[in-house]
Structures are given as C-alpha cells and as structure tokens.
Amino acid sequence: MKGLGKAAKRHPIPNACCVHYANNGGAACRACKKGIAEKELRFGCDAHDGDWHSYHWHHWGCVTDELLRKVGGKERLWKVQRLDPKDKQMIEQRFERLK
C-alpha cells in the first residue's frame, strides 16, 4: 500500500472517522488551523486521493453538527471504545442532540 501511513494501513473501516487522543502535537485542526496538542481529544475523517492517504483532523470542540451528521452515527466512529468514560459520554450526548 504505497503512500499510506501506519494509521491508514491498519484502519478497519475505509472512509470512516475516528475519535481518540492525539499521539503527538503534530496535527493541525482543519477548522481553526491551530495545533492539536498531545493527548487532546481529536476527531479525524479518512482523507485519500489515489495513493495518498491521511486524515483530516479537528479538535473535538471544532467539530460541527453537519460533519457529525455525515458520519452516520456514533457506531461508525473508530476507536471510541478506547476513550475515558467521561469522553465517551460526551460523544454519545453530542450525537443524541443531533436527533
């Protein structure tokens, strides 16, 4: 899989999104353009173009309702099961408000 990063190679659901804690402070939020700090909760959507593959990252607080509606439900999010209970609850409540 030429051009795929480590995370993309092991992604179990193509074209899905994930919510998890940032591994390092290297990504910038697509909405506010500010850096996402290490261990900060972030939301990422699968982004690819041919051989190039990555994620578009957002601070959880910068994620819009429109973007969450496109996900199609919290069960389509990858890595949620690895979050702290308070963060899982926050995500569930956010999806509930969309209904």
**CATH class for the domain made up of 6-98:** alpha beta
> Residue 1: what pLDDT?
38
Integer Cα distance of 52 and 93 in angstroms: 34
Considering Cα of 8, then 52, then 15, then 27, what sign does the dihedral take?
Answer: positive
Q: Where are the domains of the chain?
A: 6-98
**What phi and psi, each to the nearest 5 degrees, are found at residue 53?**
-145, 135
Question: Tens digits of per-residue pLDDT, 10-41?
Answer: 555 555 789 999 998 889 999 999 999 999 99
Average pLDDT over residues 57-80: 91
Average pLDDT over residues 55-67: 95
Beta carbons within 8 Å of 57's beta carbon, 6+ residues apart:
22, 27, 28, 29, 30, 36, 42, 43, 44
Q: What is the DSSP letter of 24?
A: S
